[in-house]
Structure 1
Amino acid sequence: MHLKLNDESSPSAVARTTASTSGRSSWDGNDGSGSGSGSGSRPDSLLTSSTASLQPQEPEEYTRRSGPGLLLFPGTAQRNPHNTTGKTIAKANDDNGTINQTAPVRSIRSFRRPPLWQPPSKDPRHVGPGLEEQDERPDETARDRRGACLAKVQAFIIEFLQGSSIHGFIYLAKLGLNFIERMLWFAFICVALFSIISLSKRTWHRFQTSPMVISMDRNKLVWNTSFPSLTVCPHKRIDELKVEEYILTHPEQFESEEDQEDFRDFIVKLASLTYDNLETLPLNKSFGIPSSKYLDLLYELKWPFEPEISSGAAVKMFIYETQTEFGICHSVNSLVARYNSFDYWRSGDWSLMDHGDRVTVHPLDGEIYAQIINLSTAYDVYFHGAGDVPSISKQRYTFPESDYTTVELIALEIYTNEEARAFNTKQRSCRFNYEAEDMLTVPIYSFGLCLSECRLFFALRVCGCVPHFYRNRCGYNHIFGHRVRNGRKLPVCGLEGIGCLVKIKREIISLKSDKYKINCNCLANCDDSNFFVQSYRSRVWFLGANLQWGIIDYPKMQLRRDVLFSFADVLVYIGGLVGFFLGCSALSFTEIVYYFTARFVRRMFFN
């Protein structure tokens, strides 16, 4: 556009310019022409040629598209429905210079509103010169979508940090902070989180390993005391008449008198065999008896030991025959002895039996004694609790067959509170008798039975067999609350296996070894009784061996296993740590869950 104006500031030039007005403009952008006479034109819609020449030039297509975007103030140009060309011809005569200008009709006081976003034009003229741009359009669209998604995620995280009630998070997204300040606050938050996690792990470890405390209760008039249980193992276990009858019925196994004498010695020592005297058993000849029949033969040839029992307690006591690590014995006031009876093993039974309640006494009952009469032989005695069995590692007492013996004991009991039943065995460090999930030979738990089973599997691992005084069938377990047995039968040690047991008998007794790894994982009974012999006295008795035992001095103290650190204490302790280091509460964690679930979905997919 070339516009030549000479002496613009002179009045004559202004007059000439005003007099030479010859065009009329239209709002719709249509072409139109006018002469200097201006016939048929309206004065309020005329623009001078100099004014029209000052308007910016725009392409016709753009003018036609962007016309509705114009905003007009009062006093601006009006629409002219008669002008349909959208063009204005302006003529100006200044020093013989004439300018013909085509431009859109716009007011000096008009401005353009920013255009709204529109999808890219599909006009082929707007596509690049090559076909590669058309091929790259899907990739560019995917990148745009990923970029938009990342932008939404970033905006969501900033919104969460700025609105979170956790102390310190707001400074990670607060405006006006530089990079160093943000990193400093980030470091403070990391230190706080590390402190919370490390201290919380210690708290949780304490809750898992030692949440219980053992306290002393001295109110002796409140509780009852268990009456001492005992196991009597007679020294005489083989009936000579039955042995002679066995020899007569099996002449093929005994070729000479020497064989018969060796058999008598062999069967007597086999009946009394325990870990202490393994080396005393003759290992030169088995007399054609397989090792799996050892226990059957011992019960076939056993001596009839039938003692009688009487007591001054209100509850009647029973005596049960049981198989122990010391051979065939009899237990009094025991809740687990019947599970080791030969009849129970031979029947293949795994069910729980109704053994009744344990016998208890009270200080107001006075002196309570129980008595076993008609023993007729020397015997060994093991004192233990009602829920336990004798162990080879505990002390035993031996009394002759001609004495009347009186034993006085003192008791120390530990009782577990009912609240502790909600904790697992690792937390309590004890087991109740019904928690026998890990037992493989009996359906009930006791500390003594667990030790016996540990010795059994240690012998099986080292020597490949188990002694005959154990149950040679295992596989008891729990599946969905039902008892199932797989019928696995364990090999019984013969003469060669017993020779192997002789070499490791010290490790078996102590369950400690430098060569073998032994891990019994046996926990104490939650309700346990320990008895200690305070005094005993014996005198010669012409009616045979009798045993009397009881409690003279009732315990003045009882141990109680109570809950010291419950799950509520864990929540309070960890909550205090979180509140101290980050200043947040349970609602703050609820806020986090809400933000990253419902609000996140709403922001990403529905906003």
Structure 2
Amino acid sequence: MAAIRGMLFLGQYQYDRYRANPTAIQMDKNYRDWIGIMPGLTFCFHDRIDWNRAWEYLERIQLTGHEATREGLAANETTGTYRRYLADFVQTLVGVTATELGNLSHFLTDSRLATGVNILELISTVHPNHDIAINSFQPEHGARLQVHQIVTERGICYALNAPLALLQGVNGTSGQVASGKGFPGWSPIECEFSQHECYMKLDMFRSTVSYTIHSPYEVSTSDQLFTHVEESDELVAVYSVLETVANERLKDLTVRQRKCYFYDEAYENLQFYSYNLCIMNCRAKRALAVCQCRPHFYPFAEGPPCTVAGLHCLQQHPDWSNDADCKCLKPCTDVGYYVASLSKTQWTAEGGIPFTHKASLRWEILQPKTRLRRVLIFSYEDLLVSVGGAIALFFGKNGFYLSKIIEFLSIELGGWVRRKYIKRKERKRKRKHAIRLVAPK
């Protein structure tokens, strides 16, 4: 009995180890053959309203007709006053962010504005066109250097080299991101450090922007730090890289075992996974729970989008954006970028007058000398060996041979049961046949 209890104790201990923590993170220094991954970029223009587009849109949804939309206004207000009221309405919605929803109570008295306006459609329609130019270390990248208009927790922005940002698309692209297995449409831009100076450059004409650098397998949130680039500024940023890679065998484990997700794994209602997507999806669910709608900057989340009245409801529950209870796991593979150097030049003439109306942003990555690797240190095969060792320790027998004996006995027992069942069935059939032969007329 003591041997059996000892064997069961060690077997249970090894099984718990396999279930709880069979992975480890190691440091890899064989950097000579590594391929660099260019970061993703999310940038937001400060000028977000084209007033010609704004009035055309308001007229199209029949909000500019003075007689049709006087609800909530004093009788002595003029048409000009109402246009200023609508302009304030547009500016307020364009400026809405996850952390600052603005003065929405001012528009609740007009039911057309409070519940009848599609916020995402409005802010994307009134957004002006901006002239930009993009280039990189490889001219043939061409079509891969495309920016996509997205909606973020900071409003309408643009994404470059960030495949998952398509889930934040304003034109219904969130349902069409999957292109077979892997990432939507394309993979992030890569660079061979031994052959190229790994950089990208973005020029913006007559515009000021805020930007953030992040992993190409991530999306930006309002929690991240954005850097301002004013008109006539030339900004050069150099980043060091810390990459985390993972052994493919980790996919054989459950998420509970490895405590991380791969990017191409589905998560709840999402086709792909990232930590920030998980956080935003969690915030959307909290908003849905308290106000029965999700904010418009979560187009990938479930639930009806919030109207102005819905956003005002969220203002009354400021803890909706608290992510303390979200319990999101880190990705199994990741790329982190850290500022190594940052220089800014402002091209102005005497008196501070800019002589170039172009903001320029150039970012470059340095070759890393170390990276992290997630590895499997206790596989299912190791578990079998450990259990076999426990059996050998306490019984003095080879666990493999014992398993074969158990397998043999199980097969023999199954065969014996099957034969008994067939014989019994055959006897019942013969008994029924005999009864039919002697049955009275």
Match of 2:333 in 1: 527
The answer to which of 531-540 and 315-324 deviates more is 315-324
Residue 283 of structure 1 and its aligned partner are, at CA, apart by 4.1
Match of 1:359 in 2: 189
1:407–1:537 CA contact under 8 A, matched in 2: yes
1:590 aligned partner, one-letter code: K
Residue 241 of structure 1 and its aligned partner are, at CA, apart by 1.9
Task: Give 1:323-334 correspondences, 5 Å limit.
Answer: 323-334=151-162
Q: State which of 189, 206, 211 in structure 1 corresponds to 2:22.
A: 211
1:323–1:341 CA contact under 8 A, matched in 2: yes
Residue 461 of structure 1 pairs with residue 312 of structure 2: no
Q: State which of 147, 164, 167 in structure 2 corresponds to 1:336.
A: 164
How has the CA–CA distance of structure 1 residues 198 and 499 changed in structure 2, closer, same or farther, with 3 Å as cutoff? farther
Residue 439 of structure 1 pairs with residue 268 of structure 2: yes
Residue 226 of structure 1 pairs with residue 37 of structure 2: yes
1:230–1:382 CA contact under 8 A, matched in 2: yes
How has the CA–CA distance of structure 1 residues 291 and 565 changed in structure 2, closer, same or farther, with 3 Å as cutoff? farther
Count of paired positions:
391
Task: Give 1:381-420 correspondences, 5 Å limit.
Answer: 381-420=211-250
Q: CA RMSD in A?
A: 2.8
Residue 602 of structure 1 and its aligned partner are, at CA, apart by 5.9
How has the CA–CA distance of structure 1 residues 472 and 465 changed in structure 2, closer, same or farther, with 3 Å as cutoff? farther
Match of 1:193 in 2: 4
1:301 aligned partner, one-letter code: V
2:260 aligned partner, one-letter code: C
SS in 2 for 1:365: coil
Match of 1:478 in 2: none
Residue 586 of structure 1 pairs with residue 400 of structure 2: yes
Residue 581 of structure 1 and its aligned partner are, at CA, apart by 1.6
* CA distance, structure 2, for counterparts of residue 582 and residue 571 of structure 1: 16
Residue 383 of structure 1 and its aligned partner are, at CA, apart by 0.9
The answer to which of 587-596 and 391-400 deviates more is 587-596
* CA distance, structure 2, for counterparts of residue 511 and residue 473 of structure 1: 16
* CA distance, structure 2, for counterparts of residue 375 and residue 446 of structure 1: 33
How has the CA–CA distance of structure 1 residues 602 and 446 changed in structure 2, closer, same or farther, with 3 Å as cutoff? closer
* CA distance, structure 2, for counterparts of residue 219 and residue 602 of structure 1: 59
| TM-score (normalizing by structure 1) | 0.59
* CA distance, structure 2, for counterparts of residue 583 and residue 292 of structure 1: 77
* CA distance, structure 2, for counterparts of residue 220 and residue 595 of structure 1: 54
SS in 2 for 1:439: coil
Match of 1:496 in 2: 309
Residue 278 of structure 1 pairs with residue 101 of structure 2: yes
1:283–1:495 CA contact under 8 A, matched in 2: no
Residue 549 of structure 1 and its aligned partner are, at CA, apart by 1.0
How has the CA–CA distance of structure 1 residues 247 and 464 changed in structure 2, closer, same or farther, with 3 Å as cutoff? closer
How has the CA–CA distance of structure 1 residues 596 and 389 changed in structure 2, closer, same or farther, with 3 Å as cutoff? closer
Q: Percent identity?
A: 26
Residue 366 of structure 1 and its aligned partner are, at CA, apart by 4.7
2:286 aligned partner, one-letter code: F
Match of 1:97 in 2: none
Residue 354 of structure 1 and its aligned partner are, at CA, apart by 4.7
**CA offsets 1:359-405 (integer angstroms, 9 cap, x no match):** 12233235332111125322221111111101222222222233111
1:554 aligned partner, one-letter code: Q
* CA distance, structure 2, for counterparts of residue 387 and residue 381 of structure 1: 17
Q: State which of 143, 147, 151 in structure 2 corresponds to 1:319.
A: 147
* CA distance, structure 2, for counterparts of residue 287 and residue 246 of structure 1: 18
SS in 1 for 2:43: strand
* CA distance, structure 2, for counterparts of residue 282 and residue 263 of structure 1: 14
| TM-score (normalizing by structure 2) | 0.80
Match of 1:141 in 2: none
How has the CA–CA distance of structure 1 residues 315 and 572 changed in structure 2, closer, same or farther, with 3 Å as cutoff? farther
Residue 202 of structure 1 and its aligned partner are, at CA, apart by 2.6
**CA offsets 1:106-154 (integer angstroms, 9 cap, x no match):** xxxxxxxxxxxxxxxxxxxxxxxxxxxxxxxxxxxxxxxxxxxxxxxxx
Match of 2:428 in 1: none
Match of 1:177 in 2: none
SS in 1 for 2:26: strand
The unaligned stretches of length 5 or more in structure 2 are 71-77, 348-355, 424-441
How has the CA–CA distance of structure 1 residues 577 and 535 changed in structure 2, closer, same or farther, with 3 Å as cutoff? same
1:324 aligned partner, one-letter code: T
Q: State which of 126, 133, 148 in structure 2 corresponds to 1:308.
A: 133
Match of 2:345 in 1: 539
- The structure whose RCO (Cα within 8 Å, separation 6+) is larger is 2
SS in 2 for 1:357: coil
